[in-house]
């Protein structure tokens, strides 16, 4: 059997799929139930990569470990599960990127800290589940990003060489995980960057301002010689 040498791995929220509109909607639905006014979209978008717990802290000012926090988080996730792809879509330019990978016969997969009970239905509802060659969620690993375990597992599943493969994500932990696994890395500047994030200091091989920009960089990897490029 011929070994696949190169693959592209993507973070899910904030890199492959723009899920912030659904998180914004469900968090404000929960705030409405609590008699609170809606939060601005920009404030919610900046916290999406930090998970549901960060959204509860943002929306209600309560900390993890309290009964109130746990109850609110459970309700938030129930709302999210019921509305997981109402407004979520591929980022602009991501559909052509996936098409190009498949035309080039480069397998692609997702490595995410999003639990599988949300990640799998999201991919299914967006018509991506059968196209995605590997989906690695926290349930499949002992340690999540920035630990490299998930990326290395995905590489084994895809039969690819980590040193020739790429991981793209919108958080410093994504770039750290990629480096720790020996992959080339790309920071998704179009994703959910926190206000104080400094992606130029993350040490990625490439900083992509859009999915189209990321595709252009991936296309250079077909060329005999490539180098680190920062934009």
- For every residue of 76-116, DSSP letters joined together read HHHHHHHTTTSS-EEPTTHHHHHHHHHHTT--EEEE-SS-H
**8 Å CB contact between 172 and 17:** no
Whole-number pLDDT of residue 72: 98
- pLDDT over threshold 70, residue 89: yes
Find the range with the poorest average confidence among 43-52, 177-186, 219-228. Answer: 219-228
Distance CA 19, CA 49 (A): 10
For residue 195, what pLDDT is reported?
Answer: 87
Query: Any idea which residues carry the catalytic annotation?
Result: 11, 13
pLDDT digits (tens, 9 = 90+) for 92-143: 999 999 999 999 999 999 999 999 999 999 999 999 999 999 999 999 999 9
Q: Which residue did the predictor score with more confidence, 171 or 230?
A: 171
pLDDT at residue 152 greater than cutoff 50 = yes
CATH topology of domain 8-18+88-220: Rossmann fold (3.40.50)
Q: Which residue has better confidence, 27 or 223?
A: 27
Residues ≥6 apart with Cβ < 8 Å to 9:
108, 109, 110, 111, 134, 151, 154, 155, 165, 166, 167, 168, 183
Average of per-residue pLDDT across 24-44: 97
Of the pLDDT bands very low, low, confident and very high (cuts 50, 70, 90), residue 76 is very high
Strands of the sheet with 166-169, listed across from one edge = 134-136, 108-111, 8-10, 166-169, 184-188, 206-208
- Indicate the domain borders of the chain: 8-18+88-220, 20-82
In percent, how much of the chain has pLDDT > 70?
95
Give the pLDDT of residue 97: 98
- For 182, phi and psi rounded to 5 degrees? 85, 20
Query: What is the predicted pLDDT for the residue at 4?
Result: 64
Tell me the three state secondary structure of residue 168. Answer: strand
What is this structure's pTM?
0.93
pLDDT value, residue 194: 87
CA distances from 93 to 18, 96, 209 (A): 12, 6, 11
DSSP state of 227: -
């Amino acid at each position: 059997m011929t070994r696949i040498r190169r693959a592209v791995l993507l973070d899910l929220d904030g890199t492959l799929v723009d899920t912030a509109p659904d998180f914004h909607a469900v968090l404000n639905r929960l705030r409405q139930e609590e008699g609170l006014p809606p939060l601005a979209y920009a404030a919610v978008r900046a916290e999406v990569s930090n998970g549901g717990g960060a959204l509860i802290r943002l929306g209600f000012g309560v900390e993890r470990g309290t009964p109130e926090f746990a109850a609110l988080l459970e309700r938030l996730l129930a709302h999210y599960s019921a509305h997981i792809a109402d407004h979520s879509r591929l980022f602009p330019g991501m559909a052509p990127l996936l098409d190009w990978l498949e035309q080039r016969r480069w397998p692609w997969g997702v490595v995410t800290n999003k639990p599988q009970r949300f990640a799998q239905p999201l991919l299914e509802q967006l018509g991506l589940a059968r196209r995605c060659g590997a989906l690695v969620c926290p349930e499949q690993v002992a340690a999540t990003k920035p630990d490299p375990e998930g990326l290395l597992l995905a590489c084994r599943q895809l039969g690819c060489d980590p040193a020739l493969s790429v991981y793209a994500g919108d958080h410093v932990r994504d770039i750290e995980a990629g480096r720790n696994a020996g992959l080339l890395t790309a920071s998704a500047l179009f994703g959910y960057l926190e206000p104080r994030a400094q992606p130029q200091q993350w040490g990625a091989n490439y900083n992509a301002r859009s999915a189209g920009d990321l595709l252009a960089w991936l296309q250079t990897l077909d060329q005999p010689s490539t180098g680190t490029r920062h934009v």
